[in-house]
Amino acid sequence: MPFVGWIALAALVWVGHGVVLTWSHNFFYGRVNSRRIADFFQLMHGVLLILPPFVWAKTSTGFVDWKWTTDWDKLAGWHGVICLLSLPVLLLVSLGRWRRKLPYGVKLERQTNLVPEGQARLKAGGAGIRNWLANLGFNETLRPELVEYSLTMDHLPAAWDGLRLMHLSDLHFHGTPEREWYQWVLAECSKLQPDLVVCTGDLVDGMKFHQWVGGTLGRLKWEEQALAVLGNHDSWFAPESLRGNLRRLGFKVLGNRWEVVQVRGEPMVVGGIESPWFEGEPRLREAPDRVFKLLLSHTPDHLAWASKHGVDLMFAGHVHGGQVCLPAFGPLVMPSRHGRSLDRGWFERGKTKLYVSKGLGGTHPLRWNCPPEVMLLTLRTGRKA
């Protein structure tokens, strides 16, 4: 094979190698419930990603001339074939993302900066490389946006016309941004006067950040209910203590259960699902029929489960929208067993509509083409029962 052809083939295989490793990372990271195992998977995939697959071919001519005579030739050869086959699959997934449309009844009303940029960067805080990284010019970590949608649904109670739900996810208190930044952002959120606040987990990234909860989420105000579930990061740092802190602020911490609450005088089934990080699931089949069902999940991977159990509206986070998204292509790494198929925004399965948040924070303060967000949803009544 000519040298130029060899280089071209090597480049394609290396790209495919990255695709395969990314799928592997997304698949396994979306399932593990141990911090050590999660860290191990991230480290292992990172090391394998920087090792070019053609290192195998260095001592093997089989990969280049397709004469697979030794076991090493066969291993290198089949690895190369799998890497090359992953590329058209990647293209098909990308085409699906480009063609995706908003579900019926969903309308984007506006997208605005949540706070003026000068104020949003006020006291970003932290120390060392995290703070330096957060303040890079291209980095959107400190530029939160407010995304407002309306959702028209049939058979909603008339009293819920105009009901406003605020979705928060993945605040990741860990020092960058600093507490004052979150206090400012959440105080701005309260000015929106939501009826319901729903929070889908990953609040703290360390024991000392439990003390941030009261001074940040405590600034939120709502008219009807505040609901929350925990995420995988919360499960690593005294989750029961965090549940207690949230309850003292007035949140219903749903865990893996459901209950009926009154919203503007009408019943609503609200449920939470925190698996695989906490065992169990809400027994929604036991919930009343013909009552609107709202489900909070940290991960979007439970969409099929929600559809099977008759959920009307579901909120999730966990994947942060990918944080770093290439133009046209989209995110690279998504900690979901569905990969980039459930990255951010609206999805639909059966009668279930799902919104996946890009999150407000992140352990790694780096975002590009994926700013942090708060989502505000206004319900509209459609055809009446």
Give the 3-state secondary structure of 42-60. Answer: HHHHHHHHHCCCHHHHCCC
Q: How would you class 29 by CB atoms within 10 Å of its CB: exposed for 0-12, middle for 13-18, buried for 19 or more? A: buried
- What local confidence, expressed as pLDDT, does residue 107 receive? 97
How far is residue 299's CA from residue 209's CA, in Å, rounded to a whole number?
A: 22
pLDDT value at position 186?
93
**pLDDT, position 60:** 44
Give strand ranges (E) for the chain. Answer: 106-113, 145-153, 164-168, 196-199, 225-228, 252-253, 258-263, 266-273, 293-297, 313-316, 325-326, 330-331, 345-349, 352-356, 373-381
* Alpha helices in 223-302, H assignment, sequence order: 239-248
Residue 51 identity (one-letter amino acid): L
Strands 352-356 vs 313-316: parallel, antiparallel or unpaired: parallel
3-29 vs 71-99: helix crossing angle, rounded to 10: 70
Residue 19's CB is within 10 A of a number of other CB atoms, namely: 20
Domain map (residue ranges) of the chain: 3-98, 102-381
Dihedral-angle region of residue 43 (phi above 0 means left; psi in -120 to 50 means alpha; beta otherwise): alpha
Residues whose CB is less than 8 angstroms from the CB of residue 242 and which lie 6 or more positions away in sequence, other chains included? 203, 204, 210, 213, 230, 234
Among positive and negative, which fits the CA dihedral 83, 347, 233, 260? negative
Paired with 316 in beta bridges are 356
* Cβ-based neighbours of 61, under 8 Å, separated by 6 or more: 67, 73
Amino acid at 311: V
Residue 321 tokens, joined: 């929208």
Query: What's the pLDDT at 122?
Result: 52
Query: What's the CATH fold of domain 102-381?
Result: Purple Acid Phosphatase; chain A, domain 2 (3.60.21)
Find, among 357, 372, 277, the residue nearest to 318 by Cα. 357
Residue 110's identity, in one-letter code, is R
CA distance 268 to 153: 14
Return the percent helix, strand and coil in the chain, to nearest 5. 40, 20, 40
**Residue 316: predicted pLDDT:** 98
pLDDT tens for the chain, 385 residues long, are 676 776 787 778 878 888 888 888 777 776 666 777 777 877 887 777 776 655 655 544 445 555 666 776 677 777 778 888 888 988 887 888 778 899 999 999 999 998 765 555 555 656 678 888 888 889 999 999 999 999 999 989 999 999 999 999 999 999 889 998 899 899 999 999 999 999 999 999 999 999 999 999 999 999 999 999 999 999 999 999 999 999 999 999 999 999 999 999 999 999 999 998 999 999 999 999 999 999 999 999 999 999 999 999 999 999 999 999 988 788 878 888 887 888 999 999 999 999 999 999 998 899 999 999 999 999 999 865 4
**In the structure encoding, which two tokens stand for residue 219, read together?**
């600034």
The pLDDT value given to residue 128: 75
User: What pLDDT score does 52 carry?
Assistant: 60
